[in-house]
Amino acid sequence: MTGARTGRADYAEVVAMRGAGGRAGRNARRPAALALAALVLVPAAGCGTLDSGSRARTHVLAADQPFTHPGVLVGKAQLDAVRKNVTAGKQPWLTAYLDMRDSEYGSYKYRARPVADVSCPGGDVGDVPGAGCVEEREDAIAAYTQALLFTVTGKRRHAAKAAEIMDAWSARLTRHSRAGAGLQAGWTGGTWARAAEIVRHTEGAGWPKDRVRRFATMLRTAHLPHVTGTAPDRRGDRDLTAIDAALSIAVFLDDRKTFDASLARFRERVPSVFYLEKDGPLPRTQAGSAAKTPEQVRASWFRQRTFKDGLTQETCRGFAHVGHAVAATAHAAETAWQQGVDLYEDAADRLRAALALHAPYQEGRPAPGWLCGGRIERDLGPALEVALNHLENRLDTPVPAAHRLAVTTRPAGTDGFFVAWETLTHAGNPGT
């Protein structure tokens, strides 16, 4: 997450600094010019007509119930709230908007860098220079950024830029390859679907139908095969990222079979990634896992031997992986929520426990000996907002340490992978 902003400037400085920022989300500090918000915004285009907030949530999507559009991570009610908060100059949304707008992702000069074969190695890197891995992740975030800018400002030029980026990739990309293909498709598939949902289903965007079909083909052929199916012993954050991407793509494609299968995968997978003491002395494992003995289970949890509420499979690997697991879980549950399905009922207690456990250590509390031998890597990232919004604003369930951490690190920017601008879209925004 980016830190709290200080050092205010006048409006002339905002204009002069416009376009500054880095593709990793390291944005220059921006002023919170409350009274000047109306000077930089124009009335926004209207979004789709179905409002997920009016639905009663169920366990599955009814056979006769159509998908809600836009409905990947953010829905119409939330996008309306974003626009209203920004145009009214309210915080933290205005500062979050200015950070997004003034990042490189928000520039009209942004240029896509598509390749035909995104070839990514395994491990944690996934970014061989020239193989398209970083380029695809960043371009997907840029398309989503431009789509959000369009909904806030109503400026069709932003929609055109988002479409330009997506068209460039759908014209070239044919596959993801090498050992990191699944992770790359997971990171980018969800982000692409978010951007495409907004542009396709917001009035006035003007994305031609043939380009929409071509983009849908790209997601169906180059991404979806890598993020469907089961992988019992894949690391939790990777599997949850794949589930998030599969759900997101399914909504964009109106693919009920993939959507339903992803709901089932989510409900099976989440309890094996986030531990609660009610699970027993050891974490739960997925059906088909090779971890059969207590020692094998502990090994898959990076040899952690003491299990307490909120511990995750990768806590001892590093908090960055915890952040990705939290974000992917919340993203998938939020997309389902937009479709009238309550996945949070299967995950809320585990997300709450994970946030409560990790937030104090992220803030700097020394790790006790029982936790990863007293050695932890504090890099949770901008992962809190979606989960915290559901817990606090829909369930009225406080998570004090996580709330404090979120407030002191707002506005959340982007991690350069698949998390972007969630203070803007989800802070205090139940969308119901």
Cα(244)–Cα(238) distance, integer angstroms: 10
Q: What is the average per-residue pLDDT within 387-416? A: 97
What pLDDT is recorded for position 19?
30
* Number of neighbouring beta carbons within 10 Å of residue 400: 11
Q: Is the peptide bond before 208 cis (omega within 30 degrees of 0)?
A: no
pLDDT at 49: 38
Residue-level pLDDT at 58: 86
pLDDT in tens, 134-166: 999 999 999 999 999 999 999 999 999 999 999
Q: For residue 379, what are the CA distances in angstroms to 88, 313, 317?
A: 33, 16, 11
On the question of pLDDT at 207 being above 90, the answer is yes
CA–CA dist 282, 422 (Å, integer):
33
What's the token pair of residue 280?
Answer: 């027993």
- What pTM was computed for the model? 0.89
Instruction: For residue range 6-51, list pLDDT tens digits in order.
Output: 222 322 222 232 233 334 433 433 444 443 444 345 444 444 434 4
pLDDT tens-digit profile of 270-300? 999 999 999 999 999 988 999 999 999 999 9
Q: Which residue has the tokens 């504090």?
A: 378
Instruction: Report whether pLDDT(124) > 60.
Output: no
* Per-residue confidence (pLDDT) for residue 202, from 0 to 100: 96
More confident residue, 316 or 33: 316
Least confident of 42-46, 179-183, 185-189, 378-382: 42-46
pLDDT of 170 strictly over 60: yes
- Alpha-carbon distance of 237 to 323, in angstroms, equals 8
Average pLDDT over the chain reads 88
Coil, strand or helix: which one is 298?
A: helix
214-261: pLDDT as tens digits: 999 999 999 999 999 888 788 899 999 999 999 999 999 999 999 999
